[in-house]
Chain A
């Protein structure tokens, strides 16, 4: 009892903080999910039963979609993590030219609504595709289906893996690798027995994030899935198309269960080992790989990937100036005129809401990561699991859940900006949490203990020791929140109101109407806004965190 009291006296803010965080998560994640779970048992006329689940587990179609989704997610997550690792490794260990460019390119796919990549894939690799028809002369190229989805999802999601991995690889202390090499181990041996094992939490996190994103992805299967049905699409078709919320909700619950199992497995595998490498003891600069076949190989790989990504993205701004892609290739400014007259409000609203959501998501993400890794308290495991739940749920379901949950007093939030901001935060926070956790697991707690022993308070330790040490994770969390908020689609499509319109909803409407030009113009503006914002954000984080700890 006295021990607890002592703890409380030393860190009076901690229990309050924990309660606050828990409360937020309960209201904005658990409660909406509970509403969905509830509706999975209730039919449209109010009868209670298991029909929804029967339909999922008996009906061949829905079960098939589940298997399809898992296959897709495993393929995409494996490929994305592998590519991201090579990128991140090159970035942290190899002296190559165009590093800034590679970094930009690796982030590029994040900063655009996913269906843009799908659109470009059609323009490049479809039946009339630039590459397939004009370059390779293929007659019946088919981009629709599993292979198209893997391609598009990998390009869309590997940056998430990259953001998770690059911070982590850069913060691995060079001294361990130097020790290994000094003892005569080859570079390969060092990589296999030091670097790779140390990056296991990062790899597992990256894989999990991409896996879950792929499962919940909705935009790509809608545009390019062809007849390859996936769960997220099926949920939308059931809940929105067939007006059968019950079956949609039941399917969502099944998907949620799968994700939680994956999460637990990953946690079981990675969670028990120690990956501390930042110990507070002085370490030197890493000696970069400056020559040799390895350097050239990695450089070539990054170059090829970059060119592929550029090819996908160049189409967007180009397309925004072209009257009608493939039919009438004359140049025009009409699409921008449309965006600046009709679309102006959507651009403003989106930007404002995203700016509000970003710091909240970023800070909350780091705080939760810190609580998970460093503190011991009742309900910690629950906190960890709940905070990750939101990305496991397809956006459409979150959206419907939010409407169900926040439509009546005391939480009458539908139609307000708050509900959109909450959705932004909840959807983007998990990435921040994961990268924060991965970064913190590498830092020896003794540094913080030293600060505490010197008389620093809990909040002081967090702001002046922890935050600077996990700065790159914090930054990637902020970047991710902003970008995800600006480009969120499925979750907020139900939450947009007459008062708050969002760019992505406008883009979707344009894509549906076949106005690729206007959609591209929206996307180009969106990408420009995000690039400017990212630069500002980078400056801000540098200013807040003082001097950079290591290059």
Chain B
């Protein structure tokens, strides 16, 4: 059968072409694992390349995926920079010895509460937990936008609340850790159990509830205000953002260097660059509205300054160290008890 032979020949030709294409990895390329939104990551990386002439490759993943990947690649790391995503994941990585400390020369511009004192990670943006509601729905049921954590326990909210699952989402863990720091552990878990009885819809990703609220699938979500702002700007104009009066928590988005990754010198340059005023101000150009950590950087006017909110003194190290314990407790004591009747 000649045709098969020809086919096989073509195939092997294709394969060898492909393999030779795989072989040559250009040297001097910095690899970045980005936990930011894709558009934000691309904007930042393109600007960095233009300004420094350093070539950058990036992969966008969720933060948990980035950590799993760095862990798995521990023996021969492929990437050098971890760019964006909540600092508690960085803290976890730090305790596992996956990060390389680096105190940037630009670190003075960043307030101390937004960075690791040893330089394992440095904050680049800040965002706070908010209630995000659908205006139309609120009108339909005759409610005001929720003002307090307590409000969410009203019967009208039954089946209409969405938040992410703390097992997979940094947003949801920030919420969980906020509540424990705010109310104390016992009271916080009491509250979470009652909230669970409202038939909360848990999502995997922290930003997804913004879309479901915008589409009217649910009425209110507990999520980051900057994620909600992004949805608002995308066109979900019926979103309304409010903050709990009892107090709310926040996340710090960070950047850090992966231990043992290639091109450590270029990686340090990247961190230096990411802390500058100009780099931090890039986000808003592509629709990202976090508060910025650089004192001189001008935050987008849409972003809600933490000073205006009742923000708890969020203890990041505590949150990072208690993460596994609190999530396990949440899984067995809140999720495990079953939900209320429909």
How many B residues face the partner with a CB closer than 8 A? 73
Pairwise interchain contact B22-A416, C-beta atoms closer than 8 A:
yes
Stretch at the interface among A5-13, A78-86, A202-210, A492-500: A492-500
A44 at the interface (CB under 8 A from B): yes
B104 at the interface (CB under 8 A from A): no
Stretch at the interface among A100-108, A157-165, A189-197, A399-407: A399-407
B204 at the interface (CB under 8 A from A): yes
- A244, A404, A460, A515: the one within 8 Å of B324 (CB): A244
Which residue numbers of B lie inside 8 Å of A, CB to CB?
Answer: 1, 3-4, 7, 11, 14-15, 18-19, 21-22, 25, 29, 31-32, 37-39, 42, 57-62, 64-65, 67-69, 71-73, 75-76, 78-79, 92, 96, 159, 165, 167-169, 199, 201-202, 204-205, 207-208, 210-211, 214-218, 230-231, 234-238, 324, 327-328, 331-332, 335-336, 339
Q: Known contacts A416-B22, A513-B230: does B201 contact A498 (CB below 8 Å)? A: no
- B18, B32, B92: the one within 8 Å of A498 (CB): B32
Contact with B along A128-141 (1 / 0, CB 8 A): 10000000000010
Pairwise interchain contact B22-A327, C-beta atoms closer than 8 A:
no
A-B contact pairs, 23 of them (CB 8 A): A122-B217, A126-B215, A128-B216, A142-B159, A227-B339, A242-B324, A243-B64, A243-B92, A245-B71, A342-B39, A352-B18, A359-B11, A403-B72, A417-B18, A418-B19, A493-B61, A497-B59, A498-B58, A505-B60, A509-B37, A514-B230, A514-B236, A516-B211
Pairwise interchain contact A493-B78, C-beta atoms closer than 8 A:
no
- A140, A227, A467: the one within 8 Å of B201 (CB): A227
Residues of B within 8 A of A408 (CB): 75-76
Separation in Å of the B90 CB from the closest CB of chain A?
A: 12
Residues of A within 8 A of B216 (CB): 127-128, 326
Separation in Å of the A508 CB from the closest CB of chain B?
A: 9
- B14, B59, B75: the one within 8 Å of A501 (CB): B59
Separation in Å of the B239 CB from the closest CB of chain A?
A: 10
Q: How far is the CA of A326 from the CA of B217 in the complex (A)?
A: 11
Separation in Å of the A76 CB from the closest CB of chain B?
A: 21
A356 at the interface (CB under 8 A from B): yes
Residue in B closest to A353 when the chains form the complex, CB atoms: B18
Q: How far is the CA of A139 from the CA of B328 in the complex (A)?
A: 36
Stretch at the interface among A168-176, A232-240, A267-275: A232-240
How many A residues face the partner with a CB closer than 8 A? 72
Q: Closest 8 A-B residue pairs measured CB to CB?
A: A498-B57, A241-B168, A514-B211, A324-B235, A403-B72, A241-B167, A240-B64, A463-B1
Pairwise interchain contact B68-A494, C-beta atoms closer than 8 A:
yes
Q: How far is the CA of A242 from the CA of B79 in the complex (A)?
A: 22
Separation in Å of the A434 CB from the closest CB of chain B?
A: 23
Pairwise interchain contact A240-B59, C-beta atoms closer than 8 A:
no
Separation in Å of the A532 CB from the closest CB of chain B?
A: 18
Residues of B within 8 A of A290 (CB): none
Residues of A within 8 A of B25 (CB): 415, 499
Pairwise interchain contact A242-B237, C-beta atoms closer than 8 A:
no
Residues of B within 8 A of A360 (CB): 11, 15
